[in-house]
Structure 1
Amino acid sequence: MNRSSFCLHALRASGLCIALLHLAAGTAMAQADYPSKPIRIIVQYQAGGSADALARLVGDGLSKRLKQPVVVENRSGAGGIIGTDYVAKSAPDGYTVLLSVPGPIAANLALYKKLPYDPRTDLRHVSDIASTRTIMVVHPSVPAQDFKGLVEAVRKAPGKYAMGSWGPGVQPHQMQVFMDKTYGTQTLHAAYKGESPMAVDLLSGVIQMTVGSISTFQPYVTAGKLRAIAVPGAQRAKAAPSVPTFAEQGYKDDIFMLMAPTSLLVPSKTPDAIVEKLSREVAAVVKQPDVQKRIEDMGAEPIGNAPAEATAAYKAFLPVSLKLTRATGVTLD
């Protein structure tokens, strides 16, 4: 190589180094300035549900702390796939965040033969916001005061009782299939597009039972329009302290114990600095006494953990969720 060629290569190399340094400096500055524009929280379901309410509560708190607007955007459809895929394919810059219930990032892996995203590799956890507690409720015409009584009543009337759910393979559907396989009942499954239409049909007696969020169904229980049977989990729910757990009634199978949080996630390549900052701010919001009370009033229990803790909880929950979902025998295209 002659001297002029060597100098040319050296200049090009130094130019590349300078460009890389500028890029690195720009990236670092962008992370340090985060957020410098509005953040969007994507919810996979329609406005008005428990996930939407939780997103708006957290978004309002984050907006005040981060001094930037935090906008909740509902991208519903396809069992949560549309909203989840949108975030998974968004720029990994912390400005598009997913608030997800368990189904789209767990059960969907077993339900769908092919997903446009893989929650295990395309998303990363920022924080678990809250554990959304569910409750089994029945129409007042059902002659049962507890779960044992419900099983007996259903067994005596094959084909008469229908379990409502907000989609194939989700918790109430899993429980309906488990009851049929384990206790010899013959029940029907009625899938809805959300809890609101499901609640309407339960109140009118079109369906006889379901498992759904405490925030949706506890007011009807209090008003005497529905009867509470049990809550899943190891402990009673704070929002329904008089309702015993399945475990207290002697039912301790995974289906009756499993609980999962509503979580915040971002695209997997989002920088650590942004994830950590967002997680700290979320935790600070969730730990505010007024926010905790409002979360509990929704029938949920606040968490606000760190990314590593949220990731570990997801990895522990996932195999159990997949097992229960596959047991329903449902697969979707």
Structure 2
Amino acid sequence: MTDLSSRRGFVQAGAVLGVGMGLCPSLFAQSQWPSAPVKLIVPFSPGGATDIAARVLADGLQKNLGKTFVVDNRTGAGGSIGTAAVAQAKPDGLTFTVGLTSSLLVNQFQYKRLAYDPRKDLTLVSQLAIAPMTVSVPEKSPVKNMAELRQYLMANKGKLSYGSYGNGSYSHLVLEHLNQAWQADMIHVPYRGESAVVQALLSGEVALGICSGVVAVPQAKAGKIRVLGITGPQRMETLPDVPTLIEQGMTDDAYRVVGWIGMAAPAKTPSYIIEQLARETAVVMQSEAVKSRLKDLGLVALGNSPQQFKQAYDAEYEIWKRMFQASGAKVED
């Protein structure tokens, strides 16, 4: 009996040891990630809201994890060049992109020969922040709200223009939707960036424009442009008295969606890395210092889970696709 009991104990101990050894590599890998500096590729120029958000995140992750996180700006082709570099990178948890709705979602509709398929070549990690936008008019415009804007456009049908920060951009798609819904016959004038749109509003060159809070709010508070409404489901903290378009009766999907800044990894990046990075990202993005910093840029800090990001992405995919197709935006080679 003693010999049999000993043998049973030995077998049981061996089984436990075997299970433990099977788990150890995974647990060890998780505790060691990242084993080298992590690169956050931003597919836009330094100094913009996306770049700032990425650097704020990198600083927070570096402080909290005691590891190195660096931001690498790779611009060009509406964010496609930098995003493609991530899609084609080794899925070892050392390369990620911090991009926009355009680079991670809309570009697949705009470019015939896009070097990556966002839904196949990338894994979503977290939405860092959402960006409600301002619908603005020149300070000398006679309109004070969206209802008055509609009346003004109808009274001047075919005589006015709206400015956007590029063919196929968020501002183009949303304002062209409005243009068609109201049958206003406005002329689309694309500019190179939001700052140029604001300048066009200041000079009265265009009657209407959509811009992010970071460029529009200072001009609005200085009384140089007038913000009529905010896109998305909530008001902008820096302009608390300006109602959303939804509050003003404009409930189409086009006015509900907002731009966002999101993080993604190469497809097949280990799930434990994706989950760990998402958790650490949430800690950084929800800190009071980061929320305050992003609020100054007209952004609302988020830091959601991969599952929540995918749910939001899938819900918006068809909306953006429909808007792009309806806009008549040129499809680039």
Fold conserved between structures, TM > 0.5: yes
Mapping of residues 1-12 of structure 1, within 5 Å: none
Mapping of residues 262-281 of structure 1, within 5 Å: 262-281=261-280
**Residue equivalent to 1:174:** 173
**Residue equivalent to 2:305:** 306
Distance, in Å, in 1 between the alignment partners of 2:116 and 2:130 is: 24
Amino acid at match of 1:311: K
Distance, in Å, in 2 between the alignment partners of 1:95 and 1:192 is: 36
Distance, in Å, in 1 between the alignment partners of 2:332 and 2:154 is: 29
Contact 1:42 1:72 (8 Å CA) reproduced: yes
Contact 1:111 1:326 (8 Å CA) reproduced: no
Label 1:42 to 1:194 Cα distance change in 2 as closer, same or farther (>3 A). Answer: farther
Q: Which moved more, 1:195-204 or 1:278-287?
A: 195-204
Q: Which runs of 5+ in 2 are unaligned?
A: 1-22
By how many angstroms is 1:254 displaced? 1.3
**Residue equivalent to 2:322:** 323
Label 1:193 to 1:75 Cα distance change in 2 as closer, same or farther (>3 A). Answer: farther
CA RMSD, 1 decimal: 2.1
**Residue equivalent to 1:15:** none
Mapping of residues 1-333 of structure 1, within 5 Å: 31-330=30-329, 331-333=331-333
Amino acid at match of 1:332: E
Amino acid at match of 1:146: N
Distance, in Å, in 2 between the alignment partners of 1:42 and 1:302 is: 19
By how many angstroms is 1:30 displaced? 5.2
Q: Which moved more, 1:191-200 or 1:97-106?
A: 191-200
By how many angstroms is 1:328 displaced? 0.6
Label 1:196 to 1:186 Cα distance change in 2 as closer, same or farther (>3 A). Answer: same
Label 1:176 to 1:101 Cα distance change in 2 as closer, same or farther (>3 A). Answer: same
| SS in structure 2 at match of 1:92 | coil
Amino acid at match of 1:292: K
Deviation digits for residues 101-150 of structure 1, max 9, x if unmatched? 11122222222223111000111111111111111111113221111222
Label 1:43 to 1:200 Cα distance change in 2 as closer, same or farther (>3 A). Answer: farther
Contact 1:138 1:227 (8 Å CA) reproduced: yes
**Residue equivalent to 1:16:** none
Amino acid at match of 1:220: Q
| SS in structure 2 at match of 1:79 | helix
Label 1:260 to 1:196 Cα distance change in 2 as closer, same or farther (>3 A). Answer: closer
**Residue equivalent to 2:7:** none
Contact 1:285 1:291 (8 Å CA) reproduced: yes
TM, length-normalised to structure 2: 0.87
Label 1:30 to 1:172 Cα distance change in 2 as closer, same or farther (>3 A). Answer: same
By how many angstroms is 1:260 displaced? 4.4
Contact 2:170 2:259 (8 Å CA) reproduced: no
Distance, in Å, in 2 between the alignment partners of 1:92 and 1:193 is: 34
Label 1:44 to 1:166 Cα distance change in 2 as closer, same or farther (>3 A). Answer: farther
Contact 1:49 1:195 (8 Å CA) reproduced: no
Q: Which moved more, 1:274-283 or 1:204-213?
A: 204-213
Label 1:318 to 1:156 Cα distance change in 2 as closer, same or farther (>3 A). Answer: same
Label 1:57 to 1:326 Cα distance change in 2 as closer, same or farther (>3 A). Answer: same
Deviation digits for residues 267-314 of structure 1, max 9, x if unmatched? 011111211111111111112111122222221112111111111111
Contact 1:42 1:97 (8 Å CA) reproduced: yes
Amino acid at match of 1:166: Y
Deviation digits for residues 168-191 of structure 1, max 9, x if unmatched? 122221123223322121212222
| SS in structure 1 at match of 2:228 | strand
Q: Which moved more, 1:147-156 or 1:300-309?
A: 147-156
Distance, in Å, in 2 between the alignment partners of 1:266 and 1:224 is: 42
Label 1:287 to 1:180 Cα distance change in 2 as closer, same or farther (>3 A). Answer: closer
Q: Which moved more, 1:216-225 or 1:147-156?
A: 147-156
Distance, in Å, in 1 between the alignment partners of 2:79 and 2:228 is: 28
Distance, in Å, in 2 between the alignment partners of 1:199 and 1:43 is: 24
| SS in structure 1 at match of 2:247 | helix
Distance, in Å, in 2 between the alignment partners of 1:231 and 1:315 is: 23
Distance, in Å, in 1 between the alignment partners of 2:96 and 2:198 is: 29
Label 1:173 to 1:268 Cα distance change in 2 as closer, same or farther (>3 A). Answer: same
| SS in structure 2 at match of 1:299 | coil
Distance, in Å, in 1 between the alignment partners of 2:169 and 2:79 is: 12
Contact 1:134 1:211 (8 Å CA) reproduced: yes
Contact 1:221 1:228 (8 Å CA) reproduced: yes
Contact 1:106 1:322 (8 Å CA) reproduced: no
Number of matched pairs: 310
Contact 1:127 1:310 (8 Å CA) reproduced: yes
